[in-house]
Structure 1
Amino acid sequence: MSRRFALVVLVFVAVGATPIATADATDASLVAAFPDPTTPGDEGEYVTIRAPAGAHVSLDDGEERVSFVAPGGRVAIASDPAAASNLTNDTVVSPGLDLANGGETVTLRVAGRVTDRLAYARSHEGELLERRDGEWSWWPRTLPRRNVTTHGAANATLFVLPDSPAVPLETLRSAETRLLLAGYVVSSSRVADELVAAHDRGVRVEVLVDDAPVGGMPRRSARVLDRLATAGVSVRVVGEPHSFHHAKYAVADERALVMTENWKPAGTGGAKSRGWGVVVDSPSAAADLAATFDDDSSLPNTRSWNSFRVGRSFVTADAANGSYPSRVAPERVRVRNTSILLAPDNAEGATIDRLDAAERRIDVVQPTVEADGPFVRALKRAATRGVRVRLLLGSTWYVDDENRALATRLNDWADRTGNPLSVRRARPAGRYGAIHAKGVVADDTAIVGSLNWNRHSARENREVVLTLDSPDAAAYYRSAFEADWRASNRGARPGLVAAAVGAVLAGVVALKRLEFEN
Structure 2
Amino acid sequence: MFRLLTLALVLSVSVAGVVPNPVTDGDRGEYVTLSVPENTSLGGYTLSDGETTVSLPNVTVSGRVALAADTALARNLTDARVVRVPGFPRLANGGETLVLRRNGTVVDRVTYADAPEGEVFINGEWRPLGATDVRTASGTDVDVSAFTLPDAPERVRAALRGADDRVLLAGYTFSSPRVARLLAAAADRGATVRVLVEGGPVGGVTDASARVLDRLVASEVAVRVLNGPRARYAYHHAKYAVADDRALVTSENWKPGGVGGHATRGWGVVLRDRGLADHLAAVHAADSTWRDGIPWREYRANATFQDGAPATDTYRSDFDAWNGTAEASVFVTPDDGHQTTLSVLRNATDRLLVQQVRIDDDRFLNATLDAARRGVHTRVLLGGAWYVREENRKLVDRLRKTARAEGLPLRARVVDPRSRFDHLHVKGVVTENAVLVGSLNWNHESVENNREVMVALRGRAVADYYADVFRADWRGGVWRLPLVALAGTLLVVLAAGGVLWRRVSFSGSGRSGVPRRVPRPPSSR
- What is aligned with 2:20? 35
Kept in 1: contact 2:19–2:32 (CA 8 A): yes
Kept in 2: contact 1:168–1:268 (CA 8 A): yes
Mean Cα deviation higher: 236-245 or 283-292: 236-245
- What is aligned with 2:117? 123
Of the three residues 271, 286, 292, the one matched with 2:262 is: 271
1:55-77 CA-partner distances (Å, limit 9, x unpaired)? xxxxxx9xx758xxxxxxxxxx9
For the pair shown, the structure with the greater C-alpha radius of gyration is 2
Amino acid at match of 2:359: V
TM-score by length of 2: 0.73
Q: How does 1:414-429 map to 2 (within 5 A)?
A: 414-429=403-418
Instruction: Flag the 1:43–1:257 CA change in 2: closer, same or farther, 3 A.
Output: closer
- What is aligned with 1:260? 251
Of the three residues 397, 401, 412, the one matched with 1:412 is: 401
1:447-497 CA-partner distances (Å, limit 9, x unpaired)? 1000000110011111000111111110111110011112289xxxxxxxx
2:422 aligned with 1:433: yes
Of the three residues 164, 172, 191, the one matched with 1:184 is: 172
1:83-131 CA-partner distances (Å, limit 9, x unpaired)? 9961399xxxx9997423xx313489xxxxxxx985436431xx41346
- What is aligned with 2:143? 155
- What is aligned with 2:482? none
Q: How does 1:67-216 map to 2 (within 5 A)?
A: 86-87=65-66, 98-100=90-92, 103-106=93-96, 119-120=113-114, 122-124=116-118, 127-130=119-122, 136-141=125-130, 143-216=131-204
Kept in 2: contact 1:36–1:45 (CA 8 A): no
Instruction: Flag the 1:119–1:31 CA change in 2: closer, same or farther, 3 A.
Output: farther
SS of the equivalent of 1:432 reads: coil
2:297 aligned with 1:318: no
Distance 2:242 2:53 in 1: 42
Kept in 1: contact 2:150–2:265 (CA 8 A): yes
Mean Cα deviation higher: 260-269 or 377-386: 377-386
Distance 1:79 1:378 in 2: 51
Amino acid at match of 1:308: Y
Instruction: Flag the 1:363–1:78 CA change in 2: closer, same or farther, 3 A.
Output: farther
2:381 aligned with 1:392: yes
SS of the equivalent of 2:387 reads: helix
Instruction: Flag the 1:326–1:85 CA change in 2: closer, same or farther, 3 A.
Output: closer
Kept in 1: contact 2:168–2:243 (CA 8 A): yes
2:32 aligned with 1:45: yes
| Identical amino acids, percent of aligned pairs | 38
- What is aligned with 2:472? 483
Distance 2:53 2:225 in 1: 35
Instruction: Flag the 1:44–1:347 CA change in 2: closer, same or farther, 3 A.
Output: closer
Distance 2:418 2:402 in 1: 28
Distance 2:237 2:373 in 1: 33
2:295 aligned with 1:304: yes
Shift of 1:80: 6.3
Of the three residues 229, 241, 259, the one matched with 2:217 is: 229
- What is aligned with 1:402? 391
Instruction: Flag the 1:192–1:488 CA change in 2: closer, same or farther, 3 A.
Output: closer
Amino acid at match of 1:260: S
- What is aligned with 2:239? 248
Amino acid at match of 2:239: K
Paired residues, number: 416
- What is aligned with 1:467? 456
1:337-381 CA-partner distances (Å, limit 9, x unpaired)? 2111101000411111111121111111111110x5211111112
SS of the equivalent of 1:170 reads: helix
Distance 2:289 2:53 in 1: 28
Instruction: Flag the 1:107–1:47 CA change in 2: closer, same or farther, 3 A.
Output: farther
Kept in 1: contact 2:30–2:91 (CA 8 A): no
Shift of 1:144: 3.1
Shift of 1:44: 3.8
1:235-276 CA-partner distances (Å, limit 9, x unpaired)? 111231011111101111001100000000110110100000
Report the RMSD for the aligned CA atoms in angstroms: 3.1
Distance 1:457 1:43 in 2: 29
Distance 1:229 1:444 in 2: 43
Kept in 2: contact 1:46–1:97 (CA 8 A): no
Mean Cα deviation higher: 357-366 or 459-468: 357-366
Distance 2:23 2:386 in 1: 46
SS of the equivalent of 1:320 reads: coil
Distance 2:56 2:334 in 1: 30
Shift of 1:423: 1.2
SS of the equivalent of 1:212 reads: coil
Runs (5+) with no aligned partner, structure 1: 1-29, 49-60, 67-76, 109-115, 490-518
Amino acid at match of 2:323: R
SS of the equivalent of 2:338 reads: helix
Distance 1:287 1:429 in 2: 40
